[in-house]
Amino acid sequence: MSNGVKYLHSHSAIEREIKLPKHLVIVDVEYEELFKKNAVHPFKFAGVEYIKVPTLAFVKNGGVFKNFIK
């Protein structure tokens, strides 16, 4: 989770590191309720829980692309 950031945002640095396909975005698990259940995939990186969601759904929900690592 990104300390102090209280809006829907991506974790682009992690996405690049694991070579995540462009049709998915990694976001903090706290935003899970914004997405349809079948579109959310749990994901853990460096001991932190995130979710992977479709990029289109992320954009439709007003997500902001960031470069957060943790």
Task: Give me the domain span that covers residue 34.
Answer: 12-60
Whether 65 is in a domain gets the answer no
Q: What is the pTM of this model?
A: 0.88
21 token code pair: 């396909």
Whether 67 is in a domain gets the answer no
Number of domains in the chain: 1
Whether 37 is in a domain gets the answer yes
**Distance separating alpha carbons of residues 2 and 11, to the nearest angstrom:** 9
Whether 68 is in a domain gets the answer no
Give pLDDT tens digits for 1-50. Answer: 566 788 999 999 999 999 999 999 999 999 999 999 999 999 999 999 99
Whether 28 is in a domain gets the answer yes
Round the CA-based radius of gyration of the chain to a whole number and report it: 11
Whether 70 is in a domain gets the answer no
Q: What is the pLDDT of residue 4?
A: 76
From residue 4, how far is each of 28, 37, 54 by CA, in Å? 12, 26, 24
